[in-house]
A = this chain, B = another copy of it.
Amino acid sequence: MSSPAKKVDLRRARGEDTRVLILDAARDALAEDGYARTTTRAIADRADVQLSLVHYHFRGKQHLLAEVLKRENERLLERQRALFAGPETLAEKWRTACAYLSEDLRSGYVRILWELWAVGLADEELAGHWRDAIAGWRNLLTGVAEEWKAELDFDLPISPRALATLVGNAFLGAEAEILAGVTEQEAPHVAALESIGELIDWAERRSRDDDR
């Protein structure tokens, strides 16, 4: 068992390593310097790799960035799925989700998401990847909203789909403003999102009261 008939092509393994190296470098470059300063050369420098390797492993800048978006998004989407699958109340989960926002702002993921949104303005293919990424979040939110509505004993004056869209858009808008440099002092972005948690509490209390 210690030496199974594993056929690892050392060349391919090495290649895969550089691939990851380049992906990480591209992610860091986007998060720290933004797209404008993220040239294929800057990425190659960061990865300490020859420029042509970027074109060898990925077909070019466009495809590289698309993979960066996909990888980072799936990672965080998985975390979010795990959160909402947990046993806590929705209000508690919501508060955690708000905490994640601050975390993702610090880590640079939010900036990556929006830098690539901006690229999508002039690059329909990348815009498509961005839509795919966001669709993941929207589907998750919609599922949560539907479950929640089913649990409540009274009718919400808004459909779960519209509610999920509204809440998701509020998140996106807050991210955009924060990235533009609008401070929490000028506009209470996070505080406003957290207050949604209180609205959830309020609705659930009302639902419990109806039970009595």
Residues of A within 8 A of B (CB): 34-37, 111, 114-115, 117-118, 120-122, 124, 127-128, 130-131, 134-135, 138, 157-159, 161-163, 165-166, 168-174, 176-177, 179-182, 186-189, 191-193, 195-196, 198-199, 202
Which residue on B lies nearest to A201, using beta carbons?
A: B157
A35 vs B119: C-alpha distance in the bound complex, in angstroms? 10
* Number of identical monomers bound together in the oligomeric complex: 2
Known: A176-B173, A181-B128, A181-B131. A34 touches B122 (CB 8 A): yes
Contact assessment for B182 and A177 in the assembled complex, using a CB-CB cutoff below 8 Å: no
> Which residue of chain B is the closest to A178 with respect to CB atoms?
B169
Distance in Å from the Cβ of A212 to the closest Cβ of chain B? 21
Interface centre among A36, A37, A163, by most chain B C-beta atoms within 10 angstroms, is A36
Cα of A97 to Cα of B36 in the assembled complex, Å: 34
Chain B contacts of A196 at CB under 8 A?
166
- Asked if A158 meets B114 with Cβ closer than 8 Å, knowing A177-B169, A189-B165, the reply is no
Q: A114 — which chain B residues lie within 8 A by C-beta?
A: 121
Tell whether, in the assembled complex, residue A193 and residue B166 are in contact, meaning their CB atoms are under 8 Å apart. yes
Contact of A180 among B134, B157, B163, B191 (CB under 8 A): B134
B169–A192 touching, CB < 8 Å: yes
